Amino acid sequence: MLGIALWSLWSPATPSRTTAPAQPRARASRPSANSTAAGPADAVRLDALRASHEDPGEAGRNPFRFQPKVAPPSPSRATTPIVTETPARPAPAVPTGPPPPPPIPLKLLGFLERADGVKWAVLSDGKSAPMYGKDGDIIDGKYLIVKIGTESIEMSHADGRGRQVIRQTGQ
């Protein structure tokens, strides 16, 4: 068995395993135009390795954003912009006046109806005991009940400014 293996290895009928195709060998033996060595192998160009390359730094790439890369702004000369439209006129100044009154901080808890048909609203500020009032009453010394509806009430500040509708849900 060993004899057959040796015979097949050194037999002149089988092609040699070290032989390479002629065309790549011919290319490898020719020196390239950029190489400085005259040997069969290309020389390492140390000057190209020592040359400074651009530092990638801030590449502007965000792997979590799926948009095309934004081109950096090109250096341009200082020119006056060409205006094709007429410039918009500034809006006239609106007189601001006094600030609006603060919102009414009361919540409508529910309603009470007396036998004579008078409706009372039950209100709370969340800090003290519930407050009761009917149409025209002043609550907590600051707020006036303008009208009591079926699911909401209309209130304003005691001086009549800042009307607000308060629903039974508390908003």
Query: Going residue by residue through the chain (171 aa), what tens digit of pLDDT does each one get?
Result: 677 776 677 666 545 455 545 555 445 445 555 544 455 567 788 887 787 776 665 666 667 767 666 677 777 665 666 666 666 778 787 778 888 889 999 999 999 998 998 999 999 998 999 999 999 999 999 999 999 998 999 999 999 888 999 998 745
d(CA 37, CA 23): 21
Q: How many domains does the chain have?
A: 1
Contact 79, 70 (CB under 8 A): no
Residue 145 lies in a domain: yes
pLDDT value at residue 11: 63
Q: CA angle 135-141-146, nearest 5°?
A: 25
Residue 132 lies in a domain: yes
**Cβ neighbours of residue 135 under 8 Å, at least 6 residues apart?**
119, 145, 146, 147, 148
Residue 2 lies in a domain: no
Which residue, among 139, 143, 136, 101, has the nearest Cα to 119 in the 3D structure? 136
The range of the structural domain enclosing residue 135 comes to 107-167
Structure tokens at 165: 């509708």
Residue 94 lies in a domain: no
pLDDT value at residue 41: 66
Residue 56 lies in a domain: no
pLDDT value at residue 91: 78
- DSSP class of 47: H
pLDDT value at residue 109: 92
Contact 123, 107 (CB under 8 A): yes
Rg, the chain, Cα only: 46
pLDDT value at residue 14: 46
Residue 139 lies in a domain: yes
pLDDT value at residue 78: 59
pTM of the entire structure?
Answer: 0.43
| Phi, psi angles (nearest 5°) of residue 22 | -70, -35
Task: Using alpha carbons, list the distances in angstroms from residue 130 to 111, 115, 124, 126, 167.
Answer: 12, 21, 5, 8, 16
